[in-house]
Amino acid sequence: MQLVKIAAGVLNQTPLDWDNNQRNIRDAIADARAQDVTVLCLPELCLSGYGCEDAFLSAGVHKMALRVLAELVPDTEGMIVSFGLPVQFRGALYNTACLAVNGRIAGFVGKQHLAGEGLHYEPRWFKRWPAKAHAELEVDHVAYPLGDHLIDVGGILFGFEICEDAWVANRPGAALAQQGVDIILNPSASHFAFGKQDVRQRFVLEGSRAFSATYVYSNLLGNEAGRALYDGGAMIASAGKMIVEGPRFRFANFHVTAATVDVEANRMNRARTASYDPQISDAPHHIVRVPFAYPVAPTTRNHSQLADWEAGPHVKEEEFTRGVALGLFDYLRKSRMRGFVVSLSGGADSAAVATLCALAMRLPIREQGIRATLEKLGRPLPSDGWPTGTAPATANVPTPDDLVGQILTCVYQATRNSSQTTRDAARGVAMGLGAEFLEFDVDDLVQNYIQMVSTATGHELAWETDDLALQNIQARTRAPGVWLLANLKHALLLSTSNRSEAAVGYATMDGDTCGGLSPIAGIDKAFLRTWLRWMGEVGPEETGPLTALQIVSKLPPTAELRPSASEQTDEGDLMPYEILDAIERAAIRDKLMPLQVLQQFEVSHPDVSRPQLVEWIERFFQLWSRNQWKRERYAPSFHLDDENLDPKTWCRFPILSGGFQRELAEMRAYAAQ
């Protein structure tokens, strides 16, 4: 029996924030040391940050990463720690993991498979390291091994699969296993998406089983660079069994998940496996040997750190809540802004955004307390103003409600077309959240614009002839006032458009799309309505429900831009949101043409007539094609799943196109038969 205490560290890093990143790493190493950890795996590119984008192509970034590494290596005295950083070698840039042992660098391992789809653009910056290739990297006149190799540290063999390496069919771990690898470290930067943790669990478990090794998975945490969210979720598995899983969506700067494993048990399991075929001669891997004396590992029991909600019936609702709340919290503090401003209409979308802002304060307070939350936000601590050591423990300590009121401002902006129902709903939501609530009456401004244009053009604007223009001017007139308020408060103005609206352009540019961040533009309206009902009746386990949302969730979605007599609703203007979202998935995610969508829907929606389906499908494809320019101008949004429409990171489409004219004609001809 050879017991070793190992750990996976998750880190909340920021691209190019060298001092912050180094501090988080140093704190994680110190925490691991305090837990008697010997081996610590840290995330991919944790020194520089993963989301550096084209800054990776700056020589200064690579040089600084090596400098920061050199400053951290002494902290590994008595330990084995892996760091992630970009390395330039022979005119190319590589994504590498550096293993430091007992205060010295043992070597660098290059990533063999680069993530180049969806959010990831690694081939733009990095070259893949060839399998079986070995070289030497010179750093400050010292040569270190660089390549596809194992590192023998005191008789225990270490190998790497770096993030994407574990997601491909020809995983490097298979070749490592043939060399008798004992511990595989997987430093990752794996962005959050609904249900993705299940996939990670499978490859970690299967890697540990098939390779008869201990598998250590670490990940980034939080909103690193603006769009991608990272949920953490460290894992340690051995011989096909999950030993420990770390918590997800923490608001901490770092978290260390540790476990004690028996290296000998995996070796004996491999020896008993008839299919194990070791490569003894002509081994493809160079083995770097480093002396190390392992301390006696504690025999304490390993405990899972999963929250109860992860096994509950509302995992997607919980993930959405925690992921977006964490994203908002990090965006606020990393952008050094002082709060949020939301134009609250009384409808589902703005209510959802405001609720998520409030949860972005309440959840970290529940996790780490009010003082730590204030400190992270860069706000004055409660003891400020008292002589050192004399402040009472409760001096000026705000409550969670106080902090939400300081951070979140909601504004209801009325015109003559606004109803008392939505006004009351907006006020109820704001009061229920503890937010500051303001009301602006912008009707005179709207009428002034209408009169100004009517006079100048000699054309009296009327609903019968100018419906869309009259709707849009109301939404646009609401923008300057909330921008002014956000500027005065040094706050982030949040856009409230959702993905369903983005797909068909059902939004007013420079109106309801105005803002510096669009937190729900990555989620569909049908799910938002489900989530609002859940929030109004159940809510996350830490806070419970917000009953004020029950009124909002029962109201039919409406832009309230036409006179009340028209009884305007969003679904009346478009189609039922469940249908719209289903067409979007078929057309955009699955890349089906109009006729294929119709044929699919005639099976999946037999209760809807063919002419109605044709009308809705044609409307979707036409609106989608016309409104790519709007999607190009949306404020940054959070990535939540593989149905994202963000053209900058996920779903590219030409601004000018043929608009599927031939394909729609083909569908109409088929439907007429």
Q: What is the pLDDT of residues 557-608, one digit of tens each?
A: 776 677 877 778 888 889 999 999 999 999 999 999 999 999 999 999 999 9
- Cβ atoms of residues 119 and 650 within 8 Å: yes
Q: What is the pLDDT of residues 497-537, one digit of tens each?
A: 999 999 999 999 998 899 999 999 999 999 999 999 999 99
Quick one: what percent of the chain has pLDDT higher than 90?
84
Strands 104-110 and 286-290: unpaired
Whether the per-residue pLDDT at 72 is higher than 60: the answer is yes
* pLDDT average, residue stretch 14-29: 98
Question: How sure is the predictor about 456, in pLDDT bands with cuts at 50, 70 and 90?
Answer: very high
The CATH number of domain 568-673, selected from 3.40.50.300, 3.10.129.10, 3.40.50.620, 3.50.30.30: 3.40.50.620
Segments of the chain assigned to CATH 3.60.110.10: 3-291
Q: What is the pLDDT of residues 312-348, one digit of tens each?
A: 899 999 999 999 999 999 999 999 999 999 999 999 9
Strands 229-231 and 221-223: antiparallel
- Between CA 337 and CA 490 the distance in angstroms is 6
Q: What is the per-residue DSSP string for 529-561?
A: HHHHHHHHHT--TTT---TTHHHHHHSPP----
Cβ atoms within 10 Å of 370's Cβ, excluding its own:
19
pTM metric for this prediction: 0.94
- Cβ atoms of residues 52 and 197 within 8 Å: no
Quick one: what percent of the chain has pLDDT higher than 70?
96
Q: What is the per-residue DSSP string for 219-279?
A: -BEEESSSS-EEEB--EEEETTEEEEE--BS--SSEEEEEEEEEHHHHHHHHHH-TT----
- Between CA 631 and CA 518 the distance in angstroms is 11
The CATH superfamily assigned to 3-291 is: Carbon-nitrogen hydrolase (3.60.110.10)
The CATH number of domain 315-381+399-553, selected from 3.40.1010.10, 3.40.50.620, 2.40.50.180, 1.10.10.10: 3.40.50.620
Per-residue burial over 400-412, b if 16 or more Cβ lie within 10 Å, else e, is beebbbbbbbbbb
Smallest CA-to-CA distance from 182 within 78, 96, 264, 84 is with: 264
Residues 6+ apart with CB under 8 A from 119: 191, 227, 228, 639, 649, 650
- Between CA 174 and CA 334 the distance in angstroms is 40
- Between CA 492 and CA 354 the distance in angstroms is 12
Cβ atoms within 10 Å of 655's Cβ, excluding its own:
13
Q: What is the pLDDT of residues 280-296, one digit of tens each?
A: 665 556 899 999 999 98
Q: What is the per-residue DSSP string for 269-338?
A: HHHH-TT-----SS-SSEEEEE---PPPPP-PPP-----GGGGSTTHHHHHHHHHHHHHHHHHHHHTT--
Mean pLDDT in the chain? 93
Segments of the chain assigned to CATH 3.40.50.620: 315-381+399-553, 568-673
